[in-house]
Amino acid sequence: YRLFPGEPKWKKNTLTYRVSKYTSSLSHAEVDKAVEMGLKAWSNAAPLNFVRANTGEADIMISFETGDHGDSYPFDGPRGTLAHAFAPGEGLGGDTHFDNAEKWTMGTNGFNLFTVAAHEFGHALGLGHSTDPSALMYPTYKYQSPFGFHLPKDDIKGIQKLYGPRKSGAEGPKVPQNPPTNPSGPSNPDHCDATSSFDAVTMLGKELLFFRDRFFWRRQAQLTTNVWPNTITGSFPQLMGNVDAAYEVAERGVAYFFKGPHYWVTRGFQMQGSPRTISDFGFSRKVQHIDAAVHLNDEKKTLFFVGDEYYSYDEAKMRMEKDYPKGVDEEFTGIKGKIDAAVEVNGFIYFFSGPKAYKYDREKEDVVNIVKASSWIGC
Amino acid sequence: APAMYALLKTSNWRDFHIAQEYLDKYYMQKGKHQVGEMATGGSSITRKIREMQAFFGLQATGNLDYNTISVMKRPRCGVPDMAN
């Protein structure tokens, strides 16, 4: 890593930031999310806090600019220079500019805004460019997925040279090297086994739960740190293990867990009564288990995936919709292989198939991003 | 001047201009008299190419070889590598 000459840094740990000018290639909400995650990449590693301002002057003013925009570092149109930021200091110090002529994206079809923003905020905090090709602060663009993003070691060393490590107690969440000893004895799953998928994934309140064999991982929806395996029997004794599918109807505060021809209803982690049969949903007798389920909050529908077909269940009318099952590939192009699990987050459907997770954009009717499934649990 | 012709042996004019612009942006101390730099263009640009090659872990030949020019064409951050 490298610091700027004179090693300028912020003399305070709480910094304000404000997006003063947006780009037309992403929604304001998407820009805000990418900026928030870009800043969090650094506050996870150093005792820094970022507070968003909506008006007036902030320490880190963020804007999308075109060509010559008055700071003697004009942008050059598509590609070439993507963005720049100024070292800590008054006025222009810390300010971060993105070239509005670029194709900004939240995925991989263009320049990923999270990737570039996280890099630029390294400058705004006092880091220069690193000569380590694996570092975030390396000068040339290399896509980083915000899900499961971990600051590379070189960058951690640089930012902690300036601001020290996070204080103990407010310890930035860490994934423990050895998951806690599992009371049921047998060895824990390989936390980061990049070859396997998940049996089921669901939101549960503000958390995301990932099930695999006899274990499950839980994490904050927006955070991938602080994630380690728990035994299913420890929290869902009746389920034992090998859950087939799960989904939550947040509106009603209930979640459904499926295993073979049975399902359980819970409120949070509390089981509501004994198991029932999936024929309650209107499945024919030939369906003896489901592979995946995902509840679509806006439509109030739940999609059930069985082999290469899928069903749509109307939660409001409490019955299966007509004209189903349909072929999965009729509707969801771009997903390779059987669907093992599915979950809706921020309006996107994430399909887990084998070791991959596919981000499906229903407006674009296309997959917009593919990552390792294990990256969702911080790997 | 000789260095410039040496450079051209390994590249075309377009690459030379890309390199010149790249080095101006990322390896030149802003505020220095560019004209001064230009007067000693050959040795200065060779030196800057070596600096850039060293930064990116390339063979520091001072020549505008294929690897060097392809790094220069990659999308990147606008902050200079030689921080100023």
Using CA coordinates, name the residue in chain B closest to A78: B75
Task: Say which of A30, A65, A102, A120 is annotated catalytic.
Answer: A120
Q: Is the peptide bond before A78 cis (omega within 30 degrees of 0)?
A: no
Residue A138's pLDDT band, with cuts at 50, 70 and 90, is: very high
Give per-residue pLDDT as tens, A145-174: 887 788 999 999 999 999 999 875 443 333
- Helix A153-163 vs helix A113-125: crossing angle, to nearest 10: 30
3-class secondary-structure state, position A85? strand
Q: Which pLDDT score is estimated for A363? A: 84
Long-range pairs of B24-28 with CB within 8 A, sequence gap ≥ 24: B25/A81, B25/B78, B25/B80, B26/A139, B26/B52, B26/B80, B26/B81, B26/B82, B27/B51, B27/B52, B27/B80, B27/B81, B27/B82, B28/B80, B28/B82
Q: How far apart are CA A6 and CA A249, in angstroms?
A: 55
A14-21 and A245-249: which strand pairing?
unpaired
Q: What is the reported pLDDT for A178?
A: 31
- The complex's ipTM? 0.80
Q: pLDDT tens digit string along B8-65? A: 445 578 888 999 999 999 997 654 333 333 334 457 889 899 999 999 999 999 999 9
Q: Over chain B, what is the mean pLDDT?
A: 76
**Residue B50, CB-side half-sphere exposure with 13 Å CA sphere:** 10
- Mutation choice for B interface testing from A63, A64, A81, A96 by most B CBs within 10 A: A81
**Residue A372 forms beta bridges with which residues?**
A356
Q: What is the pLDDT of residues A48-95, one digit of tens each?
A: 999 999 889 999 999 999 999 999 899 999 999 999 999 999 999 999
Q: Are A84 and B77 a contacting pair at CB < 8 A?
A: yes
Q: What is the pLDDT of residues A224-261, one digit of tens each?
A: 666 777 878 778 878 877 899 999 999 888 999 999 99
Give residue A223's pLDDT: 65
Range list of H helices, A223-322:
232-235
| pLDDT tens-digit readout, A295-343 | 999 999 999 999 999 999 999 889 999 888 998 988 888 887 889 999 9
Which chain A residue's Cα is nearest to B54?
Answer: A131
Interface test with B, best of A140, A141, A143, A154 (most B CBs within 10 A): A140
CB contact under 8 A, B56 and A131: yes
The partner residues of A83 in beta bridges, in order of sequence, read A98, B77
Q: Is the pLDDT of residue A211 over 60?
A: yes
Higher confidence at residue B78 or residue A275?
B78
Name, of A23-32, A121-130, A350-359, the range with top average pLDDT: A121-130
**Nearest by CB to A129, which of B30, B74, B81?**
B81
